[in-house]
Amino acid sequence: MAKKQFKAESKRLLEMMINSIYTQREIFLRELISNASDAIDKIYYKSLADDQLVFDKDNYYIKITADKDKRTLTISDTGIGMTKEELENNLGVIAKSGSLAFKQENELKDGHNIIGQFGVGFYSAFMVADVVTVISRALGSDEAYKWESEGADGYTIEPSEKATVGTDIIMKIKPNTEDDRYDEFLEEYRLKSIVKKYSDFIRYPIKMDVKGKRPKEGSDNEFEDYEEEQTINSMVPIWRKNKSELTAEDYENFYREKRYGFDKPLKHLHISADGAVVYNAILFIPENTPFDYYTKEYEKGLELYSNGVLIMNKCADLLPDYFSFVKGMVDSEDLSLNISREMLQHDRQLTLIAKNIKSKIKSALQSMLKDEREKYETFYKAFGRQLKFGVYSDYGANKELLQDLLLFHSSKEKKPVTLDEYVSRMPEDQKYIYYASGDSIERLEKLPQTELVLDKGYEILYFTDDIDEFAIKMLMTYKEKEFKSVSSGDLGIEADANDSASEAEDGDSKELFERMKAILDGKVTGVKASKRLKSHPVCLSTEGELSIEMEKILKAMPN
């Protein structure tokens, strides 16, 4: 039986597309600039195969012109242009992508930069414009055509005039309504900032006539108006540049320009991966804790670019929670985008990139710890707590990855040390890794429970962060050594094999102890004579899993 073709209510389809694909209107500019860049790229690719066609980079650009009086915004390019048929096919058929066809016809594979693929981006112009006029002259033709549409009602095509090859997209910007303002799309600064945000790394110049005031020549206090054509995009993304050409300052400037933070980054990572997954990334470890870092408001994530075009501002899937402090961007050519190009399909590539990034961050931190200790300690002050949360969360699934990045204050060194450093200094007869929890190092240093351990010459880790003991409980052991709180009943120290003194001594003071217990009225489970104290008359110790400090924290937590 002959199959019937689906028909579509094209008017409704177009309306749906215009109004529901994109979450933000400003995206229209990204789409039109991407198309212009594709059009120039096509000339470039043709020139590779055609000796007659010389591609002189200086002749190719994209220009944005806003006319407030006429309320028009024009995007012009010196790209390949469209014939009458191409206008008909590419702009008259929804979901038809001339660019995708071009890629297929020319068998462009790796390293291609052509952005278009879905055949819908162009229509985003109708989010901000009542009328869209396209005047185009194709490469190799001296005829120009005008395509015009007011949206859902269809379009017209007629002969037109154009002096040079390329395309002008002229949008009649919608009037403001009570709820929606469109004026901003005629404002120089706004247009500039949209270009910077999404299209900064388009490889051809995006030009704009910029007005301003400047000091008059030869005068200190007189100013003159000027208007000049400026290129507003940076074109070559820093991550495609050669690492050897870049200075620490270049990375710092990038950090500042991108507003990743107001501080100076402690460290940057420049990754160019071309193994199983191809991507470039520039990542930063900030110096200071962002003010909202340890709150629910903080959003982790990296900027995600596909082929130099911004797709997502904060792609959370690229960073595990314990590295949520990392800032920066990732650019990859082989992501499967969804139709709005604002999100990704569930993507194997993305998972691979995330995994790769995670191990790069880990090694960067590890080498910082090894070679730049002071810097690492600064980092740890700002974000160590997050690493400890990382050890504790997911039932300790990441403890292997994170345990060597932890630091705790040492009684012996009087500064933060790693678990490895602690264990490597342990005398042979020391069974446990000892720790003491409390509010501050000063208070811990005076804690009676530490006396016996310190007297034995053993080192104690001082835990002053409420997460410390929880994280350690999740680790359970480090290099086969168990952790032991100095306030636990059995310290495993020979001299007092059992903390409590002999039964006899207990017996002697039995009455006294019972009276003490009665006075303390249910606040303690028992009163015993102890050998662990030297200069203090009394201390508290625990027998169960929970230390006194942990109990305090658990009690303070909201239910």
Site residue total, ligand ADP (CB under 6 A): 23
* Residue 192 CB burial class (10 angstroms; 0-12, 13-18, ≥19): middle
146 sits in which H/E element: strand 144-149
Q: How far is the CB of 187 from ligand ADP (least distance, A)?
A: 23
| For ligand ADP, the closer CB: 120 or 283 | 120
Residue of this chain nearest to ligand ADP (CB atom): 98
Cα dihedral 396→399→402→405 (10° resolution): 110
Nearest of 128, 89, 113, 118 to residue 37 by alpha carbon: 113
What region, left, alpha or beta, does residue 96 occupy, with left being phi > 0 and alpha being psi -120 to 50 degrees?
beta
Q: Which is nearer to Mg ion, 341 or 532 (CB)?
A: 341
What residues numbered 347-386 form the site for ligand ADP, per CB under 6 A?
A: none
Q: Give the Cβ contact number of residue 427 at 10 Å.
A: 9
| Residue 35 within binding range of Mg ion, rule CB under 5 A | yes
Q: Which of 21, 27, 29, 91 binds ligand ADP (CB under 6 A)?
A: 91
Selected from 79, 121, 265, 286, the binder of Mg ion by CB under 5 A is 121
- Out of 18, 119, 195, 458, point to the residue binding ligand ADP (CB under 6 A): 119
Question: What is the residue-wise DSSP string for 205-260?
Answer: -EEEEEEEEEEPTT-SS-EEEEEEEEE-S--S-GGGS-GGG--HHHHHHHHHHTTS
According to the binding rule CB under 6 A, does residue 82 interact with ligand ADP?
yes
CB of 105 to ligand ADP, least distance (A): 12
Contact 542, 536 (CB under 8 A): no
476 marked as binding residue:
no
Q: Which of ligand ADP, Mg ion, none does 98 bind, CB closer than 5 to 8 A by kind?
A: ligand ADP
Q: Would you state the structure tokens that stand for residue 144, as one six-digit string?
A: 């120009």
CB of 182 to ligand ADP, least distance (A): 21
> Are residues 169 and 147 in contact, defined by beta-carbon separation less than 8 angstroms?
no
Provide the minimum distance between the beta carbon of 35 and Mg ion in the complex, in angstroms, as a whole number.
4
119 annotated as belonging to a binding site for a ligand:
yes
Q: Which helix (H) or strand (E) holds 344?
A: none
36 is a contact residue toward ligand ADP (CB under 6 A): yes
* Strand extents, DSSP E, 364-444: 408-410, 416-417, 433-437
C-beta closer to Mg ion: residue 121 or 384: 121
Interaction residues for ligand ADP, span 165-184 (CB under 6 A): 167
Residue 82 annotated as lining a ligand binding site: yes
Yes or no: say if 387 and 405 are a contact pair by the CB < 8 Å rule: yes
Q: List the one residue from 21, 44, 98, 409 that touches ligand ADP (CB under 6 A).
A: 98
Long-range CB contacts (within 8 A, 24+) of 395-401: 395/474, 396/474, 396/475, 398/320, 398/322, 399/474, 399/475, 401/358, 401/362
Give which of 135, 141, 205 is closest to 168, Cα–Cα: 135
User: Is residue 124 near Mg ion by the rule CB under 5 A?
Assistant: no
513 is in an annotated binding site: no
Indicate the residue among 81 and 121 with the shorter CB distance to Mg ion: 121
Q: Residue 284: which H helix or E strand, with range?
A: strand 278-285
Tell me the C-alpha distance between 381 and 383, whole Å: 6
Taking CB under 5 A as the rule, does residue 98 contact Mg ion?
no
| Closer to ligand ADP by Cβ: residue 120 or 281 | 120
Residue 169 per-residue DSSP state: E
Identify the burial level of 384 via C-beta atoms within 10 angstroms of its C-beta, where 0-12 means exposed, 13-18 middle and 19 or more buried: buried
Is 351 a known ligand-binding residue?
no
Smallest distance from Mg ion to CB 77, Å: 12
Among 47, 72, 106, 117, binds ligand ADP (CB under 6 A): 117
Q: Which one of 35-43, 362-370, 379-387, 508-516 is the stretch in contact with Mg ion (CB under 5 A)?
A: 35-43
Nearer to ligand ADP (CB atom), residue 80 or residue 387: 80
Q: Kindly tell me the sign of the dihedral angle through the C-alpha atoms of 227, 232, 236, 238.
A: positive
Q: Would you count residue 116 as binding Mg ion (CB under 5 A)?
A: yes
Task: Closer to Mg ion by CB, 114 or 493: give it.
Answer: 114
Least CB distance to Mg ion at residue 90 (A): 10
Nearer to ligand ADP, 122 or 198 (CB): 122
Which amino acid is it at 504? A
State yes or no: residue 468 binds ligand ADP (CB under 6 A): no
337 near 306, Cβ under 8 Å?
yes
Instruction: Select from Mg ion, ligand ADP, none the partner in contact with residue 237, using the beta carbon and a kind-dependent cut-off of 5 to 8 Å.
Output: none
Q: Is residue 31 involved in binding ligand ADP (CB under 6 A)?
A: yes
Helix (H, G, I), strand (E, B) or coil at 445: helix
122 is in an annotated binding site: yes
**In angstroms, what is the minimal distance from the CB of 133 to ligand ADP?**
13
Please report, as residue ranges, which positions from 418 to 447 form the binding site for ligand ADP (by CB under 6 A): none
R_g over Cα of the chain: 34
Q: Does the protein bind ligand ADP through residue 116 (CB under 6 A)?
A: yes
Query: Binding site: which residues?
Result: 31, 35, 77, 82, 90, 96-98, 117-122, 167, 341
Where does this chain bind ligand ADP (CB under 6 A)? 31, 35-36, 39, 77, 79-82, 90-91, 97-100, 116-122, 167
Query: Binding site for ATP: which residues?
Result: 31, 35, 77, 82, 90, 96-98, 117-122, 167, 341
Where does this chain bind Mg ion (CB under 5 A)? 35, 116, 121
